[in-house]
A and B are shown apart, each in its own frame.
Chain A
Amino acid sequence: MCEISKMDLNVTTPASSLEVPLHQTGQYGVKETMKSAEGLSGVKSTLVAAHPLEASEALVRKNRDQVDFTMLRNVQGMHAPLRLQMERHIAGKVQRLPCLHSSNVALDTLRGQDEHIDFNHVLNDPTAPEVMGDPHIMIERRAGILQ
């Protein structure tokens, strides 16, 4: 078989596909942005935090409680935080089924959050979520019988 070069056939290749390594060219011969390793879906992007506040915001409540309970333990003894945590644990058990949001009235009152408005009541309010999971799957997962 004789070799037919691209010049003979008058085929033009887009310039971008000539610069992109072969493993990154997608269906149309150009770089696939969404699948590239350096950009949105690389492994590194999952390791590094998106925003410095993301980590600290997840721990705000836990840290505040820890400081309060340590102080309470030092002042009043071990029994005080134990009693309070027991009450919270019991109040936290009163929940609706997984796909619906629970009001957590008792828990909020014990935490002192019933008279406090924060950004989690204004932005991305969990009482009115955009997506709802499938109730069957969520209950099966909660019961541990998900297949």
Chain B
Amino acid sequence: MNELFHLPTKRSNMATVNSAYAEPSLGGFSFENCKRNAYMETKGIKMPTARKTGTTIAGIIFKDGVILGADTRATEDTIVADKNCSKIHYIAPNIYCCGAGTAADTEMTTQMISSNLELHRLSTGREGRVCTANRMLKQFLFRYQGYISAALVLGGVDYTGPHLYTVHPHGSTDKLPYVSMGSGSLAAMATFEDRFKPDMELEEAKKLVRDAIAAGIFNDLGSGSNVDLCVITKGKVDYIRPHEIANEKGVRQGNYKYKRGTTAVLTKSVRSLPIDIETTVTGEAMDTS
């Protein structure tokens, strides 16, 4: 309908006038389809499920900095959607964040906070602090009252030292020396509670985080595939992806072939079959015209 050429007259009906007037919108989330979706669900139509990172993510503070670890499986209900997804997201050159929960939510949240932190850093002229990222994440998630399902482990090193935070979907945060989140968090936390010591060396700390993530991978259905690590120290970030490929696809644990000699041979007779081979050339000569 060519509304640009419609000249309103005294007798024009309100329907045409209303459809030609667009309310200025503020942008952001649009809740237009919520009623329709709720109605459809009462009628028994199932909504499509979001891809989640049922996950094991963990982090510890060691002598020189912070180590973050994550598995690499993304699930859609009971199906593995991505066998090697990256759950450790970049926030700043000295701050990284692992994300559990709905994959899109964690991705968008960390990107949004990363952009805001970059603008903040350009405005102040200083390297960003981990507590700033934490405050931004906390206020962002609280505003959406838990509907943005992003459970994060935030770690980094700034001029005050190494810091490790955990951020829950509703906006609460904790500042701790060792944390784990996700569906495999209990397995990872059990490993930490057993073997964590303050001021560990790098190799010992990497092994501890690897073991915690492996505990989640092997004991939780929502976590799997490989172990990713991110070692953040003052001035240097070591993003190790993958640190260990814990589950190789197609590699079997056992072999069911029998060795030669398992069954004893009683008799052996060799008979040669008479085969007459006749070769006939059929077909036309190649057409090279």
Does A associate with B in a complex?
yes
A residues in contact (CB < 8 Å) with B = 39-40, 45, 50-54, 56-57, 60, 98-99, 101, 115-126, 129, 131-138, 140-141, 146-147
A50 to B123: give the CA distance in the assembly, Å.
39
Question: Is B245 engaged at the interface, CB distance under 8 Å to the other chain?
Answer: no
Q: Which of the 9-residue segments B21-29, B176-184, B193-201, B269-277 touches chain A? A: B21-29
Q: Which of the 9-residue segments B113-121, B226-234, B256-264 touches chain A? A: B113-121
Collect the chain B residues with CB atoms within 8 Å of residue A138's CB.
20-22
| 8 Å CB contact of B35 from A40, A53, A101 | A40
Question: Is B38 engaged at the interface, CB distance under 8 Å to the other chain?
Answer: yes
Q: Across the interface, do A45 and B35 meet the contact criterion of CB distance under 8 Å? A: yes
| 8 Å CB contact of B22 from A115, A119, A129 | A129
A125 to B26: give the CA distance in the assembly, Å.
8
Q: Across the interface, do B22 and A124 meet the contact criterion of CB distance under 8 Å? A: no
Q: Across the interface, do A126 and B145 meet the contact criterion of CB distance under 8 Å? A: no
A141 to B157: give the CA distance in the assembly, Å.
56
Q: Across the interface, do B35 and A50 meet the contact criterion of CB distance under 8 Å? A: yes
What 4 pairs across the A-B complex have the smallest Cβ distances? A120-B27, A133-B22, A134-B20, A50-B34
A126 to B28: give the CA distance in the assembly, Å.
9
A12 to B214: give the CA distance in the assembly, Å.
65
Size of the chain B interface, CB-CB below 8 angstroms = 37
A110 to B115: give the CA distance in the assembly, Å.
20
Q: Which of the 9-residue segments B1-9, B54-62, B64-72, B81-89 touches chain A? A: B1-9
Question: Is B249 engaged at the interface, CB distance under 8 Å to the other chain?
Answer: no
Q: Across the interface, do B26 and A126 meet the contact criterion of CB distance under 8 Å? A: yes
Collect the chain A residues with CB atoms within 8 Å of residue B120's CB.
115
Given contacts A119-B28, A124-B28, A125-B27, contact A134 B3 (CB under 8 A): yes
Question: Is B112 engaged at the interface, CB distance under 8 Å to the other chain?
Answer: yes
Question: 1/0 per residue B103-131: CB within 8 Å of A?
Answer: 00000100010011001100100000000
For window 11-47 of B, CB contacts with A under 8 Å fall at: 12, 17, 20-22, 24-32, 34-36, 38-39
Question: Is B10 engaged at the interface, CB distance under 8 Å to the other chain?
Answer: yes
| 8 Å CB contact of A137 from B21, B28, B30, B32 | B21
A105 to B35: give the CA distance in the assembly, Å.
35
| 8 Å CB contact of A124 from B20, B30, B123 | B30
A119 to B105: give the CA distance in the assembly, Å.
12
Collect the chain B residues with CB atoms within 8 Å of residue A136's CB.
7-8
Closest to B28 in A: A120
| 8 Å CB contact of A147 from B8, B21, B34 | B8
Collect the chain A residues with CB atoms within 8 Å of residue B20's CB.
133-134, 137-138
Given contacts A51-B34, A53-B144, A147-B8, contact A121 B27 (CB under 8 A): yes
CB distance from A120 to the nearest CB of B (A): 3
Q: Across the interface, do A141 and B29 meet the contact criterion of CB distance under 8 Å? A: no
Closest to A45 in B: B35
Q: Across the interface, do A137 and B115 meet the contact criterion of CB distance under 8 Å? A: no
Q: Across the interface, do A146 and B24 meet the contact criterion of CB distance under 8 Å? A: no
CB distance from B146 to the nearest CB of A (A): 10
Question: Is B63 engaged at the interface, CB distance under 8 Å to the other chain?
Answer: no
A17 to B26: give the CA distance in the assembly, Å.
44
20 contacts between A and B (CB under 8 A): A40-B36, A50-B32, A51-B34, A53-B31, A60-B143, A99-B22, A117-B112, A117-B116, A118-B112, A120-B27, A124-B25, A124-B29, A125-B27, A126-B24, A129-B25, A137-B8, A138-B20, A138-B22, A140-B8, A146-B17
Collect the chain B residues with CB atoms within 8 Å of residue A115's CB.
119-120, 123
